[in-house]
Amino acid sequence: MSTHGHWDHIGDNARVAEHTGAQIAAHPLDAYRLLHPQGRMLPFEIPPSAPAVELQEGGEIRFGSVRLQVLHTPGHTEGSVCLLDNEYGRLYSGDTLFAGSFGRVDLPGGSEEQMVASLDRLRGLDDAVTVLPGHGASTTIGQERPWLEWLAREGRLPT
Q: What is the pLDDT of residues 97-126, one digit of tens each?
A: 999 999 999 999 999 999 999 999 999 999
Residue 106 is classified by DSSP as: S
* 7-154 classified as CATH 3.60.15.10: yes
Average pLDDT, the chain: 95
Backbone angles phi, psi at 158, to 5 degrees: -65, 150
78, with CB counted inside 10 A (0-12, 13-18, 19+), is buried
- Spatial neighbors of 79 by CB under 8 A, at least 6 apart, are 4, 5, 26, 27, 28, 29, 30, 31, 33, 55, 72, 109
Query: What average pLDDT score do residues 127-156 get?
Result: 98
- Spatial neighbors of 5 by CB under 8 A, at least 6 apart, are 26, 30, 31, 32, 33, 34, 37, 77, 79
This prediction's pTM: 0.94
Q: What is the pLDDT of residues 29-59, one digit of tens each?
A: 999 999 999 877 777 889 999 999 999 999 9
Q: What is the pLDDT of residues 5-30, one digit of tens each?
A: 998 999 999 999 999 999 999 999 99
pLDDT reported for residue 63? 86
- Spatial neighbors of 64 by CB under 8 A, at least 6 apart, are none
